[in-house]
Amino acid sequence: MSIDMSQFYQVFFEESAEHLANMESLLLALDLDAPDPDQLNAIFRAAHSIKGGSGTFGFTDMTEVTHVLETLLDRIRKNEIAITSEMVDAFLLAGDVLRGLLEAHQNGSLADEAASLAIREKLQKLTAASIGAGNTKPSDVPAPTSKEPEVPAAANGQYVYQIRFVKNRTNFKKKEQLDNLLQALRDIGTISNQKIESNSVSLTLISSTSEEDLREAFMFFIKPEQLTLTVQDNPSVTNKSKTDDELGYGFFVDPENLKSDVENAQGYGFFVELENQPQPAASGQILQPEEIPQRRATDKAPTAATVAAETSIRVSVEKVDQMINLVGELVITQAMLAETVSGMDQVLYERLINGLAQLDRNTRDLQESVMSVRMMPINFVFSRFPRVVRDLASKLEKKVQLKTVGEGTELDKGLIEKISDPLTHLVRNSLDHGIELPEERIAKGKDPQGTITLRAAHQGGNIVIEVEDDGAGLNREKILAKAREKGIPFNDNISDADVWLMIFAPGFSTAEIVTDVSGRGVGMDVVKRNIDSIAGRVEITSRPGQGCTVTIRLPLTLAILDGLSIAVGEQTYIVPLSFISESLQPGATDIKNVSGQGQVVLVRGEYVPMIALHQVFNIKPKVTRPEEGILVLLEAEGKKVALFVDELVGQHQVVIKSLETNYRKVAGMSGATIMGDGRVAMIMDVPALVKLAQQ
């Protein structure tokens, strides 16, 4: 039976990417002096799972790399050879090569055959050199204990099994699927006394396959609770039937590695491989009480992986986005209904008003629940930096440790993807410019090993991410000298905070030479631009000789915004609350005119530039004198400005609609929303608005 395996590709790509990420994090955390057997087994299983999946789908280049990788890992985990730092480097490089091959298959592009060949040769040489040098573990070191127990086999190499399992439409949607299972059993033994009933199948099987292998194999088709299996013959001769190389997700498996193979193959949703003919597996099912046979005390309980698979599902981001968009429309509709009802008689329409109040609560709860689906722990980003720090520190000949705090802090998946590059630039910048060389740190009385700390936490409606190092800190005079060289204007009394912000200028770099790490001045401006694009803010604090901290403040999500609605003439605008420090009505004497510079307002002893919104957007206001209107104080780009508007309307949680998707990009605006009265309100891009007003 021919099956189109391409339908399972995406799941394989995702699963393999997770295995590679897991393998890398385990390798970086490994103690070479006393490696944890569980960690070694987990690393092996990750490589082994990728090998099996790639073999099943015909990605032979990945299979060839993982086979050599697996061979060396297997010798290490069995204590035949000792792991070294050179091996860890090779394993990490192999992970990079596998990641490249995976991306090539996913994108339909050409894979790097030279890199694949080079890493295979390197791993083979390491294996041969270790064995040849007698690089083995001491005999008193205990072997890994997580190995699957060996199952006794019959004296003549054959078992006699009595098998009974549930047959229903959920397990076997088509008759061919049941036929495939029975044929698979015939391929590994002899079937007799076969009886197919309306909701069950019973038979006798004589086979050399161990009970453990047979039970695991059935997991591709049915749940463990739906299988009753007894062994009539059970002498004490040990049997291992087939080698690991015959695996490929078939019934011929190495019992040691069976568990990881089965769990991995389950995730792909297909049958085990029978003579290189993969077949689709039945999906998860809901058991009816009468379909569950009585489990014997010796039957296996569901594994942790099985339970996890049953309590989570993979859903495409597009489907989640569509659901979020529909909930957003529901919120807008609810707001419109509330606006309409607000003018009705509270007594006459009491039931209607109470019903809408309940609808409002339910809608908000639904909105929060749906938004939480897109929330992901920031560790998805943080987890890549141990490798970055390790490799770059080695290249720069520095000693650096990475610490992470708050890696479980959640934020929107869209932000996760967009914050990755800025954080990479900041970490590399701390390594190159911040952390000193070991001898320099010793001369300053510091620990020769520097520390970079990645920290994340929720603060109000925002997430705050910090990149902190204990290096030399920023050099004020060096930055100002570079600013003069590049013609950047500044006041002699410029504050430290403003000096630090200069490093975000395009092309700005204090590096004396250009290297493959830094010096081109294209890092920090990218950070600033990317953070601005997702409505975030960047702040820098520096302590000379002690270190530097870059703080990034982001909204929790890009789909919903807490904002203040303001009115200018007949127009309503939304200002994000995160940029607002306060609002006030100034006195006439607080307003001053600056020749050629517009107006400023005195706020608690500080003059703040004033922006008249009606002048920026060329609309007719209701008031033209600031003392008759309202000033909203905003902080953006490290500067304070006062926004002159007619009046404040109220605070709202609004659903953001993209202007570029639905209309076109509008200067000074980051999006739009629909108000309760059905009107469209523009959402201000405060940093862009400040620049627009200055121009």
Q: Does 268 or 55 have the greater pLDDT score?
A: 55
pLDDT at res. 199: 84
Q: What is the mean pLDDT of residues 618-629?
A: 90
Residue 267: pLDDT band with limits 50, 70, 90? very low
Residue 140 has pLDDT above 80, yes or no: no
pLDDT at res. 259: 43
Residue 47 · residue 261 · CB < 8 Å: no
Q: What is the mean pLDDT of residues 343-367?
A: 86
Question: Structural domain of residue 99, as residue ranges?
Answer: 5-132
CATH of the domain at 472: 3.30.565.10
Domain total of the chain: 5
Instruction: Output the six-digit token pair for 671.
Output: 């999006």
Q: Does 195 or 169 have the greater pLDDT score?
A: 195
* 446: phi then psi, degrees, rounded to nearest 5: -100, 165
pLDDT at res. 280: 37
Task: With respect to residue 139, please indicate whether it lies within any of the assigned structural domains.
Answer: no
Name the least confident of 130-134, 374-378, 488-492, 625-629.
130-134
pLDDT at res. 638: 66
Residue 521 has pLDDT above 50, yes or no: no
Closest by Cα among 147, 24, 23, 138 to 81:
138
Task: With respect to residue 305, please indicate whether it lies within any of the assigned structural domains.
Answer: no
Residue 570 has pLDDT above 70, yes or no: yes
Q: Same domain for 507 and 388?
A: yes
For residues 135-167, one letter each, b for 16 or more C-beta atoms within 10 angstroms of the residue's C-beta and e for the rest, the string is eebeeeeeebeeeeeebbbbeeeebbbebbbbb
Cα gap 337→340, rounded to integer Å? 5
Residue 125 has pLDDT above 80, yes or no: yes
Residue 335: pLDDT band with limits 50, 70, 90? confident
Residue 578: pLDDT band with limits 50, 70, 90? confident
Name the least confident of 40-54, 291-305, 317-331.
291-305
Q: Same domain for 453 and 352?
A: no
CATH of the domain at 176: 3.30.70.1110
Cα gap 509→518, rounded to integer Å? 8
Residue 159 has pLDDT above 70, yes or no: yes
Q: What is the mean pLDDT of residues 356-372?
A: 86
pLDDT in tens, 214-260: 876 676 677 778 888 888 744 433 333 333 333 333 333 344 444 44
Q: Does 266 or 681 have the greater pLDDT score?
A: 681
Side chain identity at residue 506, one-letter code? P
Task: With respect to residue 230, please indicate whether it lies within any of the assigned structural domains.
Answer: yes
Residue 639 has pLDDT above 80, yes or no: no
Q: Same domain for 418 and 345?
A: no
Type and span of the H or E element at 671: strand 669-674
CATH of the domain at 119: 1.20.120.160
Q: Same domain for 573 and 434?
A: no
pLDDT at res. 471: 92
* Residues acting as catalytic residues: 48, 70, 429
Type and span of the H or E element at 547: strand 547-555
Task: With respect to residue 310, please indicate whether it lies within any of the assigned structural domains.
Answer: no
Q: What is the mean pLDDT of residues 367-383?
A: 85
Instruction: Output the six-digit token pair for 433.
Output: 């410019």
CATH of the domain at 594: 2.40.50.180
Q: Same domain for 481 and 567?
A: no
Q: Among 555, 571, 597, where does a domain finish?
A: 555
Instruction: Output the six-digit token pair for 624.
Output: 């033209």
pLDDT at res. 261: 44
Type and span of the H or E element at 631: strand 630-636
Task: With respect to residue 307, please indicate whether it lies within any of the assigned structural domains.
Answer: no
pLDDT at res. 607: 87
Name the least confident of 65-74, 187-196, 258-267, 634-643.
258-267
Residue 312: pLDDT band with limits 50, 70, 90? low
Distances (CA, A) of 694 to 57, 610, 683: 59, 10, 19
Judged by DSSP in three states, 346 sits in coil
Residue 386 · residue 28 · CB < 8 Å: yes
pLDDT at res. 178: 82
Q: What is the mean pLDDT of the chain?
A: 77
pLDDT in tens, 68-90: 898 899 889 888 888 988 999 99
Q: Same domain for 168 and 262?
A: yes
Residue 331: pLDDT band with limits 50, 70, 90? confident
Name the least confident of 5-14, 383-392, 405-414, 603-612.
5-14
pLDDT at res. 213: 73
For a pLDDT cut of 70, what percent of the chain falls above it? 79
Q: Same domain for 350 and 391?
A: no
Which residues are CB-neighbours of 220 under 8 A, at least 6 positions away? 262, 265, 266, 270, 271, 272, 281
Instruction: Output the six-digit token pair for 286.
Output: 């809901």
Query: What letter would DSSP give residue 342?
Result: T
For a pLDDT cut of 90, what percent of the chain falls above it? 15
Residue 690 has pLDDT above 80, yes or no: no
Type and span of the H or E element at 477: helix 476-485
Residue 452 has pLDDT above 80, yes or no: yes
Q: Among 104, 132, 160, where does a domain finish?
A: 132
pLDDT at res. 469: 94
Task: With respect to residue 309, please indicate whether it lies within any of the assigned structural domains.
Answer: no
Residue 568 has pLDDT above 70, yes or no: yes
Q: Does 238 or 133 have the greater pLDDT score?
A: 133
Q: Same domain for 259 and 182?
A: yes
Q: Does 683 or 151 have the greater pLDDT score?
A: 683
Q: Same domain for 382 and 370?
A: no
pLDDT at res. 414: 81
Q: Same domain for 592 and 464?
A: no
Q: Same domain for 404 and 455?
A: yes
pLDDT at res. 693: 63
pLDDT at res. 470: 94
Q: Among 529, 555, 581, where does a domain finish?
A: 555
Residue 273: pLDDT band with limits 50, 70, 90? very low
Q: What is the mean pLDDT of residues 334-341?
A: 84
pLDDT at res. 510: 65
For residues 566-582, one letter each, b for 16 or more C-beta atoms within 10 angstroms of the residue's C-beta and e for the rest, the string is bbbeebbbbbbbbbbee
Task: With respect to residue 630, please indicate whether it lies within any of the assigned structural domains.
Answer: yes
Task: With respect to residue 143, please indicate whether it lies within any of the assigned structural domains.
Answer: no
Which residues are CB-neighbours of 552 under 8 A, at least 6 positions away? 419, 422, 464, 465, 466, 467, 531, 536, 537, 538
pLDDT at res. 134: 52
Most confident range (mean pLDDT) of 64-68, 192-196, 400-404 is: 400-404
Q: Same domain for 17 and 86?
A: yes
Residue 468 has pLDDT above 90, yes or no: yes
